[in-house]
């Protein structure tokens, strides 16, 4: 049985299908361990948990999408129905709480993040599974701001490291994701659209894996969302229903809470 396990943040598990959901159509079993807003500490800890609890081996495929380094993670049992890890997101969006004032340092957080990624790559390298790693943004950009950390750049030369998911957005200066309408205000999601996720998968990952995905699933997602997806307080549930009805997709079906 071919099994697929994926890890990451909202670039891997989001309100609409991501690259992981399209890739999953080529596997017999799929588990999505990603959580929107989490950082690299939580990602590597959940990776370690999965490798042991699921007895990952040579017939399994693991793809890890690392995230930007400025995130604070903590774990607490029974935190939320879907996860026991916090979803605080970037520390720059958390105001001036005491924990930020007392403990946060940009260089230190970058160092922590690089160590988490290095640990994850070593866990995968010793797991005997087929694996690849990517990121939601160009992590080398942050390192170049601190010359004393440049030895970490070797992480991104690993043969199993593939192009960042941010590529489609960075290459399109006119990028606009899903349109949101909240309290009569309009704003655009800064995540890749399902079409961008699908294209990234085709261009960067699918040829490295011995699987045939269901391209018709992408067509059904496009049909359900339309060419310019819009989400408002009035139609959010309608959108979820359309994805379920037209494409038989809901992310809750494959999300893994874990410990």
pLDDT tens column, 55-65: 999 999 999 99
Distance, in Å, from the CA atom of 246 to the CA atom of 222, rounded to the nearest integer, reads 10
DSSP per residue over the chain, as a string?
--EEEEE-STTTS-SS--HHHHHHTTSSEEEE---TT--HHHHHHHHHHHHHHTT--TTEEEEEEE--S-B---B-TTSSSS-SB----BGGGSTT-HHHHHH--HHHHHHHHHHHHHHHHHHHHTTTSEEEEEESS-THHHHTT-GGGGGGGGGGGSTTB---TTHHHHT-TT---SEEEETTEEEE--SPPHHHHHHHHHHHTGGGSS----HHHHHHHHHHH-SS-EEETTTHHHHHHHHHHHH---GGGTB----
Are 144 and 110 within 8 A, CB to CB? no
Predicted local distance difference test score (pLDDT) of residue 230: 66
Residue 183 has a pLDDT of 73
- For all residues of the chain together, what is the average pLDDT? 88
Buried b (16+ CB within 10 A) or exposed e, 102-119: eeeeeeebbbbbbebbeb
Cα distance between residue 155 and residue 116, in whole Å:
11
Domain residue spans of the chain: 3-170+192-225+249-253
- Sorted by sequence, the CB contacts under 8 Å of residue 128 that are 6+ apart come out as 56, 57, 58
Q: Confirm if 9 and 37 have CB atoms less than 8 A apart.
A: yes
pLDDT score recorded for residue 181: 74
Question: In the structure encoding, which two tokens stand for residue 12, read together?
Answer: 């891997």
Q: What is the mean pLDDT of residues 145-168?
A: 92
Token pair, residue 95, equals 């105001």
Model confidence over 39-89: pLDDT tens digits?
999 999 999 999 999 999 999 999 999 999 988 888 999 999 999 998 877
pTM: 0.92
Residue for token digits 């790559």? 121
Those residues whose C-beta lies under 8 Å from the C-beta of residue 57, and which sit 6 or more positions away, are 127, 128, 129
Q: What is the mean pLDDT of residues 219-243?
A: 74
- CA angle at 128 for the pair 123 and 133, rounded to the nearest 5°: 55
CATH architecture of the domain formed by 3-170+192-225+249-253: 3-Layer(aba) Sandwich (3.40)
Model confidence pLDDT, tens digit, residues 92-125? 766 556 566 677 788 999 999 999 999 999 999 9
Higher-pLDDT residue of 92, 136: 136
Quick check: 201 pLDDT over 70?
A: yes
pLDDT of residue 186: 77
pLDDT at 141: 87
- Closest of 121, 87, 117, 112 to residue 13, by C-alpha: 87
């Amino acid at each position: 049985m071919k099994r697929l396990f994926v890890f990451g943040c909202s670039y891997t598990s989001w309100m609409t299908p991501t690259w992981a959901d399209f890739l999953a159509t080529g596997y017999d079993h799929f588990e999505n361990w990603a959580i929107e807003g989490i950082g690299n500490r939580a990602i590597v800890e959940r990776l370690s948990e999965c490798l042991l609890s699921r007895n990952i081996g040579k017939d399994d495929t693991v793809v890890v999408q690392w995230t930007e380094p400025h995130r604070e993670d903590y774990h607490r049992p029974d935190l939320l129905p879907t996860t026991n890890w916090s979803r605080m997101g970037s520390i720059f969006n958390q105001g001036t709480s005491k924990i930020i004032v007392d403990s946060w340092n940009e260089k230190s957080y970058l160092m922590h993040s690089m160590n988490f990624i290095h640990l994850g790559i070593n866990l995968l390298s010793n797991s005997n599974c087929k694996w690849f790693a990517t990121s939601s943004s160009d992590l080398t950009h942050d390192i170049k701001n601190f010359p004393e950390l440049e030895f970490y750049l070797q992480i991104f030369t690993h043969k199993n490291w593939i192009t960042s998911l941010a590529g489609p957005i960075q290459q399109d200066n006119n990028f606009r994701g899903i349109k949101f309408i909240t309290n009569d205000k309009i704003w655009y999601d800064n995540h890749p659209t399902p079409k961008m996720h699908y294209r990234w998968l085709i261009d960067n990952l699918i040829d490295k894996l011995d699987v045939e995905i269901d391209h018709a699933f992408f067509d059904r997602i496009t049909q359900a969302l339309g060419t310019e997806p819009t989400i408002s307080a009035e139609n959010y549930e309608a959108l979820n229903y359309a994805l379920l009805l037209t494409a038989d997709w809901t992310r809750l079906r494959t999300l893994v809470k874990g410990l």
